């Protein structure tokens, strides 16, 4: 599994339509699902929650929960659905996490997390990984993070994705927890020095290719979050400069390649806005980008969007000065 570059699991963002769209831009980036809670998989519509397009691969399933039994069952189900990795969420700072006992609050219970990971690994042949933060509330010393990772490592887990911020539970919103706590990249670098034989991946506030290059000198991989969602063509730069792949579609070609998928999905009952909302940032920084956003917002990102307009979208791209360049 190549985890050199990945796109972070993001609630309300990295659904199957977003992943298919991103895969049209990047062939090498590892993609993650939104977090799916173990109990939802146990009790809910598994096909609706877990089914994905084979063209999204490689794709990892991120699970949330704290029941060793339910997480083990969910991991096995994820394998059966064809995912390439199972990731346990130990970093979500949502207000629901303490009540429902998942996400970053589990940093307080490393032995419970270890039990979950042991059961998950026993239930699947897929690699089981974790995504966590450097700390929570007033617990932000490196020693605590080191001890936490040491306990998880003892279960056999070898890949650790670290968001280089702590989380403030109960006080900050999830959005505030993405911005206010300071980034401490040095903690992640130190983890790599202390655990040289394990895979340490850095996450948090990374938006440019030169930043990625810098982090790759000190860690095994980089996970991109909001930058990949709001400026998705960043993945084209990553393909060129990190993976040395010059066979990259232009922005216009990405939309052209997306149209057959849209038509196929609409026949299944998917609404147009459920797909097109993910493409708002495709022309970011290009001539005509504001027109693209305005046109989509008015015509294709509303609940009752007219599906007939998808047949004319390329005319809007071509005749409204929207860039057709790869760069």
The answer on 165 and 223 residing in a single domain is: yes
The answer on 198 and 268 residing in a single domain is: no
The answer on 140 and 231 residing in a single domain is: yes
Predicted pLDDT at 319? 63
Please state, in angstroms and rounded to a whole number, the distance separating the CA atoms of residues 67 and 137.
Answer: 24
Bridge partners of 62, per DSSP, are 35, 87
DSSP state of 222: E
Pairing state of beta strands 5-7 and 59-64? Answer: unpaired
The answer on 178 and 277 residing in a single domain is: no
The answer on 137 and 23 residing in a single domain is: yes
Is 241 part of any domain? Answer: no
The answer on 177 and 256 residing in a single domain is: no
- Please say which residue of 181, 204, 235 terminates a domain: 235
Predicted pLDDT at 81? 98
- Could you list the residue range(s) of the whole structural domain that residue 315 is in? 251-319
Residue 34 tokens, joined: 């939104």
The answer on 300 and 159 residing in a single domain is: no
Predicted pLDDT at 324? 52
**Which of 82, 79, 92, 81 has the alpha carbon at shortest distance from 37?**
92
Question: How would you class 43 by CB atoms within 10 Å of its CB: exposed for 0-12, middle for 13-18, buried for 19 or more?
Answer: exposed
Residue 167 tokens, joined: 């989380």
Is 82 part of any domain? Answer: yes
DSSP assignment of 20-56 equals HHHHHH-SSSEEEEEEEEHHHHHHS-HHHHH---GGG
Q: What is the CATH number of the domain that holds 255?
A: 1.20.120.1460
- Please say which residue of 208, 235, 262 terminates a domain: 235
Q: What is the CATH number of the domain that holds 168?
A: 3.20.20.70
- Please say which residue of 202, 235, 268 terminates a domain: 235
The answer on 266 and 134 residing in a single domain is: no
Is 71 part of any domain? Answer: yes
Element (DSSP H or E) covering residue 60: strand 59-64
Please state, in angstroms and rounded to a whole number, the distance separating the CA atoms of residues 103 and 122.
Answer: 21
Please report where in the chains the tokens 């394998």 appear, as a residue: 79
**Which of 64, 44, 1, 13 has the alpha carbon at shortest distance from 279?**
13
Please state, in angstroms and rounded to a whole number, the distance separating the CA atoms of residues 190 and 173.
Answer: 28
Is 15 part of any domain? Answer: yes
Is 244 part of any domain? Answer: no
From first to last of its 327 residues, the chain has per-residue pLDDT tens of 899 999 999 999 999 999 999 999 999 999 999 999 999 999 999 999 999 999 999 999 999 999 999 999 999 999 999 999 999 999 988 766 666 688 999 999 999 999 999 999 999 999 999 999 999 988 999 999 999 999 999 999 999 999 999 988 876 666 676 666 889 999 999 999 999 999 999 999 999 999 999 999 999 999 999 999 999 999 999 999 999 999 999 999 999 999 999 999 999 999 999 999 999 999 999 988 888 999 899 888 888 777 777 877 877 776 665 755 443
Is 118 part of any domain? Answer: yes
Please state, in angstroms and rounded to a whole number, the distance separating the CA atoms of residues 152 and 112.
Answer: 10
131-166 burial, b at 16+ Cβ within 10 Å, e below that, comes to bbbbbbeeebeeeebeebbeebbebebebbbbbbbb
The answer on 116 and 207 residing in a single domain is: yes
**Which of 227, 270, 277, 307 has the alpha carbon at shortest distance from 51?**
270
Predicted pLDDT at 127? 98
The answer on 147 and 113 residing in a single domain is: yes
Cα→Cα distances 12→18, 210, 226, Å: 10, 28, 12
Please state, in angstroms and rounded to a whole number, the distance separating the CA atoms of residues 42 and 182.
Answer: 37
Is 325 part of any domain? Answer: no
Q: What phi and psi, each to the nearest 5 degrees, are found at residue 85?
A: -160, 150
Predicted pLDDT at 26? 98
Element (DSSP H or E) covering residue 293: helix 289-299
DSSP state of 160: E
Is 324 part of any domain? Answer: no
Whether this model's pTM surpasses 0.85: yes
Contact partners, residue 232, CB within 8 Å, separation at least 6: 21, 22, 25, 278, 279, 281, 282
The answer on 152 and 47 residing in a single domain is: yes
Q: How many domains does the chain have?
A: 2
The answer on 125 and 267 residing in a single domain is: no
Residues acting as catalytic residues? 92
38, 101 Cβ separation under 8 angstroms: no
Predicted pLDDT at 327? 37
């Amino acid at each position: 599994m190549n985890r050199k570059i990945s796109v972070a699991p993001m609630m309300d963002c990295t659904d199957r339509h977003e992943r298919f769209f991103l895969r049209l831009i990047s062939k090498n980036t590892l993609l993650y699902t939104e977090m799916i809670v173990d109990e939802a998989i146990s009790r809910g519509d598994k096909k609706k929650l877990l089914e994905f397009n084979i063209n999204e691969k490689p794709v990892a399933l991120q699970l949330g929960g704290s029941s060793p039994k339910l997480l083990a069952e969910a991991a096995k189900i994820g394998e059966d659905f064809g995912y390439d990795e199972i990731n346990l969420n130990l970093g979500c700072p949502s207000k629901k996490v303490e009540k429902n006992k998942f996400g970053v609050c589990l940093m307080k219970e490393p032995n419970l997390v270890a039990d979950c990971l042991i059961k998950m690994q026993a239930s699947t042949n897929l690699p089981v990984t974790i995504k966590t933060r450097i700390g929570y509330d007033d617990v932000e010393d490196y020693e605590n993070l080191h001890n936490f990772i040491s306990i998880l490592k003892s279960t056999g887990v070898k890949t650790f994705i670290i968001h280089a911020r702590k989380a403030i539970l109960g006080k900050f919103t999830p959005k505030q927890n993405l911005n206010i706590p300071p980034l401490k990249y040095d903690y992640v670098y130190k983890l790599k020095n202390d655990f040289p034989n394990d895979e340490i991946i850095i996450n948090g506030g990374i938006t440019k290719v030169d930043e990625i290059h810098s982090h790759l000198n000190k860690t095994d991989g980089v996970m991109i979050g909001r930058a990949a969602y709001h400026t998705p063509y960043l993945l084209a730069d990553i393909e060129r400069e990190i993976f040395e792949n010059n066979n990259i579609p232009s922005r216009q070609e990405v939309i052209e390649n997306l149209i057959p998928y849209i038509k196929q999905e609409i026949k299944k009952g998917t609404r147009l806005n459920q797909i097109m909302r993910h493409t708002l940032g495709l022309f970011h920084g290009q001539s005509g980008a504001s027109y693209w956003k305005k046109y989509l917002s008015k015509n294709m990102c509303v609940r009752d969007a007219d599906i007939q307009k998808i047949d004319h979208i390329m005319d809007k791209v071509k005749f409204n000065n929207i860039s057709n360049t790869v760069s």
